[in-house]
């Protein structure tokens, strides 16, 4: 009998905190518990849907945050950077709010990366 790939049960998409846990697990393998402040970079890109706000509007919506905002290398998205820890529930709350904020503008919050700061 042939098993078709679409016959597998659909997996629920990971929530933002679970996605953060995956990144933190990789940091942990490098001896980084995520508790030290470090350079964190977030990424967002427009969805391919009518009504998505322009990059200028999205950048403007981030103006109140204490972050450095630039264009993504691909020319369509935005990148914003700041210094902070990544281990707390407050960080998870931030990324959940960012994902919702971008979704409301027709954009996708693509996640974050950071410098490794090994625990001492």
Of 58, 37, 67, nearest to 103 by C-alpha is 58
Per DSSP, the three-state class of 100 is helix
Return d(Cα 50, Cα 110) in angstroms, integer.
19
Q: Are 48 and 35 in contact (CB under 8 A)?
A: no
pLDDT of the chain along its 120 residues, tens only?
454 555 555 455 678 999 999 999 999 999 999 999 999 999 999 998 788 999 999 999 988 888 899 999 999 999 999 999 999 999 999 999 999 999 999 999 999 999 999 987
What's the CATH architecture for 37-120? 2-Layer Sandwich (3.30)
Q: What is the DSSP string of 22-89?
A: HHHHHHHHTT--S-S-EEEEEEEEE-SSTTPPPHHHHHHHTTTSS-EEEE-TTSSSEEEEEEE-SSSH
Strand 107-114 relative to strand 38-46, pairing: antiparallel
Task: Give this prediction's pTM.
Answer: 0.84
């Amino acid at each position: 009998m042939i098993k078709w790939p679409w016959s597998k049960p659909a997996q629920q998409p990971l929530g933002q905190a679970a996605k953060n846990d995956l990144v933190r697990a990789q940091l942990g393998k490098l001896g980084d518990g995520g508790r030290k402040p470090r350079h964190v970079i977030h990424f967002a890109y427009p969805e391919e849907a009518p009504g998505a706000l322009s990059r200028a509007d999205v950048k403007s919506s981030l103006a109140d945050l204490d972050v450095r905002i630039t264009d993504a290398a691909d020319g369509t998205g935005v990148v914003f950077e700041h210094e902070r820890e990544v281990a707390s529930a407050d960080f998870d709350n931030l990324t959940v709010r960012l994902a919702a904020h971008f979704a409301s503008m027709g954009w996708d919050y693509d996640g974050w990366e950071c410098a490794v700061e090994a625990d001492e």
